[in-house]
Amino acid sequence: MPELPPVKIAFIIDGEVIDILHTDERLGAIFTSNPIIKNVTGQLITDDGIVQVGSTYNSETNEFGPKPEEITEPTE
């Protein structure tokens, strides 16, 4: 039997454990830091860009934006 990753995260809904995820320390820390979790399947942030690691998110408008280095400033 293969060795499982070291961190076990329990997902609880209405007081019941509905699933357990075995993961590494980094993803375990992300899950236990109360993140906002959104389904971004097919979600575009620009005409040619998709939501990816480093994209920005505005919780007030519920909109995603490009990575900060992808934002271009107007030239004079």
Strand partners, 3: none
What does the pLDDT average to over 40-60?
85
CA 49 to chain CA centroid, nearest Å? 16
Token readout for 8 is: 């076990």
| Counted domains in the chain | 2
Q: Give the list of residues 6+ apart from residue 48 with CB closer than 8 angstroms, or none.
A: none
Whether 27 and 45 share a structural domain: no
Tell whether the model's pLDDT for residue 62 goes beyond 80: yes
Whether 22 and 43 share a structural domain: no
Tell whether the model's pLDDT for residue 74 goes beyond 80: no
pLDDT in tens, 5-45: 999 999 999 999 999 999 999 999 999 999 999 999 888 88
Tell whether the model's pLDDT for residue 51 goes beyond 80: yes
Place of tokens 């499982």: 4
Range of the domain at 25: 1-35
- What is the reported pLDDT for 47? 67
pTM of the model: 0.69
